[in-house]
């Protein structure tokens, strides 16, 4: 692992699996074979990592969910949809060659399985299938009850069709095509029944799908704690402005003013203190920074309500301070 906490991996194989979808197999640099002793940092089902990439517009950092079983740390498997109007990250992945070395962050998880659930309903829209594939792997290995519904416009646009077909739990997968009148909207009630204790719902996909699913679940009396979602973009831009406050850098005692229109990350950068930034929308968790004193004004969508209450971490790309001063563990 590098000083910055990044891990160097090598592209072991690249496989097309669906319209504009590339399956990328990343291995530790000092091994080329699955099952050897070389290990990558562990991960949980639902986790994602940051991929550090070179693109024509410079270095970019993008997040991708890990789809492999979480008991296999000999490799990281990700699946990347080439975006038509993307910001360059997916095009850079699709331009990778076998043998390329890359830096990745250790995996993080903000989309966890509830270990106490008796039955899990996994819903995925398009490339949102990636984290729920890893969840299905984990639930299958546990012998847990689950069903996985994947929504796609057509069979041709279904991501990871071959990968899904090869899984030992493929009989739990139900495919839905809007071209056949089986889209999610309008049919949500068919896969989200009235809540019964012990059921957990997981949804990953476009914002519209998540909004429909959470509205349907609420109408069918699912408690909020039983509904888990992961989205690819915020429904509206995060509000990062607010009152001025002071950030204290614990390692040096330096005090830095954060103006009403500035983010903590921007102020740190201006003073030569680098932080890892990726989404800059409070969605990915790349910029989580320890808080040693003060009360953050959390504006991210990464930390759970319980995690926020501890006030031990802050997303410096978007969150602010409720106290006049915030001491950061950097």
Smaller CB separation from ligand FES, 287 or 328: 287
Smaller CB separation from ligand FES, 96 or 316: 316
The least distance separating ligand FES from the CB of residue 328, rounded to whole angstroms, comes to 14
Q: Which residues of 115-153 are buried (b: 16+ CB within 10 A; e: fewer)?
A: eebeebbbbbbbbbbbbbbbbbbbbbeeebebbbbbbbe
Smaller CB separation from ligand FES, 212 or 321: 321
The least distance separating ligand FES from the CB of residue 152, rounded to whole angstroms, comes to 27
The least distance separating ligand FES from the CB of residue 218, rounded to whole angstroms, comes to 26
Q: Are 144 and 117 in contact (CB under 8 A)?
A: yes
d(CA 14, CA 32): 14
Q: What are phi and psi of 83, to 5 degrees?
A: -75, 140
The least distance separating ligand FES from the CB of residue 147, rounded to whole angstroms, comes to 31
Smaller CB separation from ligand FES, 205 or 282: 282
Strand pairing class (101-104; 7-16) = antiparallel
Stretch that binds ligand FES, among 34-42, 163-171, 190-198, 278-286 (CB under 6 A): 278-286
In the stretch 285-304, what mask flags binding to ligand FES with x, by CB under 6 A?
Answer: xxx------------x-x--
Instruction: Report residue 199 CA to chain centroid gap.
Output: 22
d(CA 76, CA 323): 40
Smaller CB separation from ligand FES, 60 or 121: 60
d(CA 296, CA 321): 4
The least distance separating ligand FES from the CB of residue 303, rounded to whole angstroms, comes to 10
Smaller CB separation from ligand FES, 110 or 212: 110
d(CA 75, CA 10): 10
Stretch that binds ligand FES, among 13-21, 177-185, 254-262, 280-288 (CB under 6 A): 280-288
Smaller CB separation from ligand FES, 25 or 280: 280
Residue 317 engages ligand FES in binding (rule: CB under 6 A):
yes
What 3-state DSSP class applies to 152?
strand
The alpha helices in 89-205, defined as continuous H runs, are 89-94, 129-142, 161-165, 188-191
Q: Are 131 and 208 in contact (CB under 8 A)?
A: no
Query: CB nearest ligand FES: which residue?
Result: 317
Instruction: Please give the radius of gyration of the chain, using alpha carbons only, rounded to the nearest integer.
Output: 21
Size of the site for ligand FES (CB under 6 A): 14
The least distance separating ligand FES from the CB of residue 237, rounded to whole angstroms, comes to 14
6: burial class by Cβ within 10 Å (0-12, 13-18, 19+)? Answer: middle
The least distance separating ligand FES from the CB of residue 265, rounded to whole angstroms, comes to 7
Residue 279 engages ligand FES in binding (rule: CB under 6 A):
yes
Q: Which residues bind ligand FES (CB under 6 A)?
A: 277-280, 282-287, 300, 302, 315, 317
């Amino acid at each position: 692992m590098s000083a910055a906490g990044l891990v160097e991996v090598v592209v072991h194989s690249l496989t097309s699996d669906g319209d504009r979808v590339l399956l990328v197999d990343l291995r530790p640099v000092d091994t080329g074979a699955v099952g050897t002793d070389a290990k990558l940092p562990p991960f949980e089902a639902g986790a994602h990592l940051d991929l550090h990439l070179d693109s024509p517009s410079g270095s970019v950092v993008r997040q991708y969910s890990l789809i492999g079983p979480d008991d296999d740390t000999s490799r990281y498997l990700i699946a990347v949809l080439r975006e038509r109007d993307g910001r360059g990250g997916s095009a850079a992945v699709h331009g990778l060659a076998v043998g390329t070395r890359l830096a990745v962050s250790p995996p993080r998880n903000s989309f966890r399985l509830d270990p106490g659930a008796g039955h899990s309903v996994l819903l995925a829209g398009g490339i949102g299938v990636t984290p729920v594939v890893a969840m299905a792997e984990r639930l299958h290995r546990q012998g847990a009850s689950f069903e996985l519904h994947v929504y796609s416009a057509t069979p041709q646009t279904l991501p990871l069709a071959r990968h899904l077909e090869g899984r030992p739990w493929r009989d739990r997968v139900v495919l839905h095509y809007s071209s056949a009148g089986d889209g999610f909207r309008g049919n949500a009630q068919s896969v989200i029944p009235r809540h019964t204790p012990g059921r957990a719902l997981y949804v990953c996909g476009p914002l519209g799908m998540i909004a429909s699913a959470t509205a349907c679940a609420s109408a069918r009396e699912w408690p909020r704690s039983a509904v888990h979602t992961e989205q690819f973009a915020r429904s509206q831009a995060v509000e990062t402005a607010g009152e001025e406050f002071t950030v204290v850098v614990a390692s040096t005692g330096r005090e830095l003013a954060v103006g009403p229109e500035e983010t903590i990350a921007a102020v740190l950068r201006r003073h030569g203190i680098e932080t890892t930034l990726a989404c800059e929308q409070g969605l990915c968790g790349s910029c989580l920074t320890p808080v040693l004193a003060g009360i953050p004004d959390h504006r991210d969508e990464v930390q759970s309500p319980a995690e926020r209450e501890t006030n031990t971490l802050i997303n410096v790309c978007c969150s602010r301070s409720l106290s006049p001063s915030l001491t950061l563990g950097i």
